[in-house]
Amino acid sequence: MRVDPVHAAVGTFFSNSPMFRVPKYQRSYAWEISELEDYLKDLEETYNKRKNGTPINHFFGGMVSVESTVTGVVNQKRHELVDGQQRCATFVLTIAAIIKVYHSLLAQTISSGDTTNQSIIQSRIERLTFRFIEFRQEVNRQTRVVESLILSNADSQFFKDLIRGLDPAPSRESHNRIKLVYESLISKIQELMPSSALIVDKLDSLEIFQLVIDSDFSIIHIVTYNTQEAYKLFQVLNDRGKSLTEGDLLRAKTLELLEGFQTQQNSTESYWDDILKDKSKSTENFLRWIYQSNNGSRAGRNTLFDDFLSSFYPQHNNASISNLEANQILVTTKTIQTEIQIARKISVGSWPYPNTSQPITAWDRNRLNLLIRELGLTVSIPILLASYKLGESKFSEMTQILELFLFKYKVLSNAHIEAAVTVFHRHCLLIRANPTTYNILDFRTDLNNLMSSKVTLTQFRAALDGLSYKVGGGNKPLKYLLMTLEHFKRWYEQGANGNPTCMDKTRVYDFTSTTIEHVYPRNATGTNIDSSLEPLKNSLENLTFMGATDNVAGSNDSFNIKRPIFQASSVGLNIDIGNLAQWTTTELAARKTSLKDMACAIFVI
C-alpha cells in the first residue's frame, strides 16, 4: 500500500486550488457540543498565544484521502476524504465565520465612506474565498467555479449555502450541527475581537484568526492512491466504531459492497441519508428496534453493527457480489428506510398510518400517544413495528392490548419485563411470517397466561392501593388510570361483557391539559380541615381529574361548595362524586372499592 503522509499547517492544504470531496461511504457532519466546545477552547488559546507574540502549534490529528487527477486540467488533484471530513469541514466553517465577520465590517466601512479599509476588507474576503470556499478552474478551455470542499449528499447543498452566508434552513440533524458550529464560531470570533471602535484594530484581530488556521493549526494528511486500499485504511482508523456510529458503519459497509454497481450504490446512498438524519442515539434505537422486530431477539450491547450486518446483509461474507446481490442490498436498505420512517412516528406516539379513516378515531390514535409518550413504554415498539403489517384496525387493537397489559404488568405491578419481552419477540416473528393469517387472540392468550403467573388479582389490587398523588410530579400513572377508568366506565356499568371497550370515542381528553383534582382539598385551611380525611387526601379514592373545559375553581373549598362543580363536569367519575350528599371516610372507602373493582375488570387483556 503506497501512502504519502504530510504533516503541515492547515493553510498549506488550502493553498493551491484544493479539491476535497467526501465520498459516499462517509457519514454526515457529526460534531456534537463536546467536540465544538473543545475546538472553541483550542481556537481561543491559540489565538491568544499568537496575539501575545508566542504562537504555538496545535495538532488536530489526521486526514486520509485518495488522490486522483482531474481530466482536462494541468496539475490539478482531487482528494476524496476517507477520514477527517469533520476536521476539514470545521476548518472551512472557521474561515466562513471569519468572512462573515469581515462582511459586517465591510458594511461599516461602506456606510462611513472609509474606502481604504473597504478595499483591504474586500481583498481579504476575496483571497479567503478563493482558497477555502471556491476557486475558478479552466477545464478544456472552459472556466468554471469549483468548490474547495464538498460534503456528502445529505449535507452538501446546506453546507455550500451556509459558508456563503445565505442562511439556509436546516432539514436534518446534521444541518443543525453544522449551523451550530458556524454560529458559535462567529460568536467566539466577535467575543475575542477588541472592543475598540477602530476598524483597523478589528482587522488586525481577524488577521490573527487567519494566521491561526494558516500557520498554527496542523494536521497529518495521509494520501493514498487506490480506493480499495483507502477503504481498508478507513476501517482500520475507525476500528469498531470508536468515532463512527453503528449506522455510519453500516452505511459505509453497504456502499463499499456496492462499489462497481453505480446505480444501486447511488440509490442506497440516498436511503442511508434518510436513515441517518436523526440524532445518533435515536438512530441506534431505531436500528435496535428493527433488529428485534425482525429477529425476535435483541442485538448485543456492543455488537449491533455485526449482528445487523449478518441479519440484513449476508452478502458481506462474499468476496465479490453479483448484480442480483447488489439489487438485494438496495431492496433491503429501502425496507430498512421504510421501517425507520414508521419507527420515527411510533417512537413519538404519532399514528403511523396516513389518511386515517373509519373505524379508527382520534381516541384510537391517542392510545398510541399514551402508551409511548406519556407512559414511556418503548419496550412495545418492536412488536408495534411488526403489527404495522397487520393493517390499521389490527394495529389499533394491538396498541390497546399493549397499553392495558403493560400498565398493569409493568407500570403498576413492576413485574419483570423480560418475560413479557419474550412473548413480544415470539409474536413479532409470527406476525412477520404471515400477517394475513396471524390471530390476535393468540397474543391475548399468551399475555393473559403470563399475567396470571406473574401478577395475581390480589397483587394488582395491592398495587392500586399504593397509587397516590406525589407532590412535585411523577403522577402520570395516576392520571392515566383515572382517565382510562373514565373511558371504559360505561362498558363496565353495562355489565363489562367481552373485551374492554370504550363506548363513547368522541371524548378525547388531552393528557397534558387535564389536571388531577383532590376532592377533599390538598391544602385545606381553617374550618375546611378535616382530621379524618387529612391522611387520605393524596390517596386514589380522594382523587379525580378535570378535563380542559371543566371548571377547576374552588380547589381548596369544602365539599359542599365543590359539589356543583363536579355535577357540571364532563367527566362521569366527577358527576358520581357530585351526586353524593357528603364526603367522609365512608364515601372514600366505598369509592376506593368501586375504582379497584372497575380497574380489575378493565385491565384484562
Q: Picking from 57-61, 266-270, 339-343, which range would have the lowest pLDDT averaged per residue? A: 57-61
Q: Is the pLDDT of residue 168 over 90?
A: yes
CA distance 74 to 93: 29
Quote the mean pLDDT of the chain: 91
pLDDT digits (tens, 9 = 90+) for 2-46: 667 788 899 999 988 889 998 766 778 889 899 999 999 999 999
Q: For residue 68, what pLDDT is reported? A: 87
Q: For residue 3, what pLDDT is reported? A: 66
Q: For residue 150, what pLDDT is reported? A: 94
Half-sphere exposure of 575 (CA within 13 A, CB side): 7
Residue found by looking up cell 494536521 in the block: 219
Q: For residue 224, what pLDDT is reported? A: 83
Nearest alpha-carbon partner for 425 in 289, 312, 286, 305: 289
Q: Is the pLDDT of residue 243 over 60?
A: no
Q: How confident is the model at residue 119 (pLDDT cuts 50, 70, 90)?
A: very high
Half-sphere exposure of 7 (CA within 13 A, CB side): 5
Q: For residue 241, what pLDDT is reported? A: 37
- Angular region, 495: left φ>0, alpha ψ -120 to 50, beta rest: left
Task: Give the count of beta carbons closer than 10 Å to the beta carbon of residue 197.
Answer: 8
CA distance 30 to 41: 18
| Cis-peptide into 354, omega within 30 deg | no
Q: Is the pLDDT of residue 230 over 70?
A: no
Q: For residue 265, what pLDDT is reported? A: 92
CA distance 305 to 319: 19
pLDDT digits (tens, 9 = 90+) for 475-527: 999 999 999 999 999 999 999 999 999 999 998 999 998 999 999 999 999 98
Q: Is the pLDDT of residue 105 over 80?
A: yes
Q: How confident is the model at residue 242 (pLDDT cuts 50, 70, 90)?
A: very low
Nearest alpha-carbon partner for 286 in 420, 154, 173, 439: 173
* Mean pLDDT to the nearest integer, 294-302: 93
Nearest alpha-carbon partner for 522 in 556, 561, 473: 556
Q: For residue 15, what pLDDT is reported? A: 87
Q: How confident is the model at residue 256 (pLDDT cuts 50, 70, 90)?
A: confident
Q: Is the pLDDT of residue 357 over 80?
A: no
Higher pLDDT, 142 or 483: 483
Task: Give the count of beta carbons closer than 10 Å to the beta carbon of residue 463.
Answer: 19
CA distance 435 to 293: 13
The CA dihedral of 252, 253, 255, 260, to the nearest 10 degrees, is: 130
Q: For residue 63, what pLDDT is reported? A: 85
Q: Which residues pair with 77 in a beta bridge?
A: 69
Residue found by looking up cell 455510519 in the block: 248
CB 101 within 8 Å of CB 206: yes
Q: How confident is the model at residue 231 (pLDDT cuts 50, 70, 90)?
A: low
Q: For residue 245, what pLDDT is reported? A: 79
pLDDT digits (tens, 9 = 90+) for 443-461: 999 999 999 999 999 999 9
Give me 371's grid cell.
Answer: 402508551
Dihedral sign for Cα atoms in the order 293, 294, 296, 299: negative
Q: Is the pLDDT of residue 215 over 70?
A: yes
Q: Is the pLDDT of residue 554 over 70?
A: no
Higher pLDDT, 252 or 121: 121
CA distance 574 to 566: 5
Q: How far is CA 59 from the centre of its chain?
A: 33
Q: Is the pLDDT of residue 362 over 80?
A: yes
Higher pLDDT, 364 or 302: 364
Q: How confident is the model at residue 227 (pLDDT cuts 50, 70, 90)?
A: low
117-121, Cβ contacts within 8 angstroms, sequence gap of 24 or more: 117/199, 117/200, 117/203, 120/203, 121/203
Q: How confident is the model at residue 234 (pLDDT cuts 50, 70, 90)?
A: low
Q: How confident is the model at residue 235 (pLDDT cuts 50, 70, 90)?
A: low
Q: For residue 450, what pLDDT is reported? A: 97
Q: For residue 440, what pLDDT is reported? A: 97
Nearest alpha-carbon partner for 365 in 337, 395, 388: 395
Please give the C-alpha separations between residue 556 and each of 66, 503, 549, 560, 586, in angstroms, as whole numbers.
74, 33, 19, 12, 21
* Mean pLDDT to the nearest integer, 136-159: 86
CA distance 298 to 307: 9
Q: For residue 240, what pLDDT is reported? A: 37
